Structure 1
Amino acid sequence: MATRELTLTDLTRILREAAGEDESVDLDGDILDTPFAELGYDSLALLEVAGRIERELGAKLSDDAVGEAETPRQFLKLANEPVPAGS
């Protein structure tokens, strides 16, 4: 589990730092349910974001789970849920 909760503000900051930002997309808007593909982020960008989150927050994120998170809302849920014992 992360040492603190990842917020949408944290996620958008890390997205910008790790993978840049498409000028045609407003990451400060209502993006919780917007697919990452529409925001201009592919699976490699999300893996980079996941690595930064692990380093910054101490969250453990599996590559498979990261690949299944299609929207910021799903990614935040993944990052903020407890990691099962033994994982």
Structure 2
Amino acid sequence: MPSTEFTIDDLRRILREGAGTEEGVDLDADILDTEFEQLGYESLALLETCGRIEREYGVRLDDDALAARTPRALLGLVHDQLVTVQAG
């Protein structure tokens, strides 16, 4: 059964596994409201990240997830999908 929780630590792990970390970026810092672009993650990296989240957590993310500008926004979208999957 897929996990029912998606945390900032889960997102950090998936970002590192899928796209790596740009030199000079500290993903362990408070990044919740830092734009993905500032963290070195462009649209292709977010596409890979969303694909990994979908596979690992058994959710379906729409285009809003790809348009998420910050980790906080993406966490919220994934959380909403996890709640929907649980309720269904």
Q: Under TM normalisation by the shorter chain, which class is it?
A: 0.7 to 0.9
% of aligned pairs identical? 56
Aligned to 1:15: 15
Q: CA RMSD in A?
A: 1.5
Contact 1:14 1:49 in 2 (8 A): yes
State how far apart, in whole Å, the 1-side matches of 2:55 and 2:66 are: 18
Q: Which runs of 5+ in 2 are unaligned?
A: none
- For normalisation by structure 2, the TM-score amounts to 0.86
Superposition map of 1:38-77 within 5 A: 38-62=38-62, 64-77=63-76
In the TM superposition, what whole-angstrom CA distance separates every residue of 1:13-57 from its partner, at most 9, and x where no partner exists? 000000010120100000000000000001111111111111111
- For normalisation by structure 1, the TM-score amounts to 0.87
Is the aligned partner of 1:24 residue 2:37?
Answer: no
Q: Which runs of 5+ in 1 are unaligned?
A: none
State how far apart, in whole Å, the 2-side matches of 1:10 and 1:35 are: 17
Instruction: Count the aligned residue pairs.
Output: 82
Q: Give the Å deviation of 1:3.
A: 4.0
